[in-house]
Amino acid sequence: MIESRESDYKTMALFLTISLVIVFVYLVLFQVGIVQSIELASGGLIHPTLILNALLLASAVLGVLVYYGKLQWTDFGLIRRKLPVAVVVCAISWALVQIVEGLIGFIGTGVIEIEVGWNTEALGLIGLLIGMLFGTALYEEVGYRGFLLIQFKMKMSQLTTTRYLQVALGLLISQMFFTLIHIPWKVMNQGLTVTVFFDLVFSVFLNGLIYGLLYLRTENLFFVMIVHALGNAPTSLVSPSIGPSSILLLLAIIWAAVWPQLRRLEKGKPEVEDPSVLA
């Protein structure tokens, strides 16, 4: 069972408001070219997504949840003893993805082709992965699965005593806000079109639901975070044939199905509740 101290609606609303404000501030910085200049100066190592989510983590997570809301790291899923299992499982999954892609490519063409991006834009690929691991995936999993999903689930207990309904409502509402935070960026890049609407509904919202279910099943936010990061930045060694993100997600679902058997590996010392120390 995922345990967290219940927060108030004011903290939840402030988290969402500050997040939305930061997104708009970032869009201004992007429009005037500041973000691109930083990326260019770093040779692609500092990816735009890292800049955006560093701002979000500093303001919405540290500023609102930790400082204002007085929450501990454990209250939104960052439990240190669960990290090693997540890293090992995801490393195995990444290796399996390379093997599957390589075998499919070999069966189809007779050769295993190395991903050309590693020859032409290696720093950019590494920067994207860093940006996803320590930016996008960290902020989104902490904010929308570790925090809002669990908080809305607890709030729903005031409306219904049915546990499954509490979970369903908490999942749907939290991931609606997850989708909302993506709207400004999508609209700025692609306009307000039917295509963008369906992309938000069937990509962002659906992915949010999947990641939420993975977290509820595994109770390991680090696992979901790494799956999320690798899904957005596969960093394939071989030229992909059928899509590494799809294979990774399938493996993640399989891992989630057997996760109760892995939970004994997560046992450790009780967490020290100190906001200055990663739980």
Between 223 and 110, where is the model more confident? 223
Q: Is 274's pLDDT higher than 70?
A: no
The predicted model gives 216-238 an average pLDDT of 94
Q: What is the mean pLDDT of residues 61-84?
A: 95
Q: Is the dihedral of CA 236, 182, 148, 171 positive or negative?
A: negative
Q: What's the pLDDT score for residue 2?
A: 85
Axis crossing angle, helix 221-232 with helix 244-262, rounded to the nearest 10: 170
Instruction: Decide if 61 contacts 140 (C-beta within 8 A).
Output: no
Query: Lowest-confidence range among 162-166, 172-176, 238-242, 266-270?
Result: 266-270
Residue 268: predicted pLDDT: 60
- Overall average pLDDT of the 201-222 stretch: 94
Smallest Cα–Cα separation from 128: which of 267, 201, 229, 3?
Answer: 229
- What's the predicted TM-score (pTM) here? 0.91
- Assigned token pair, 53: 């989510």
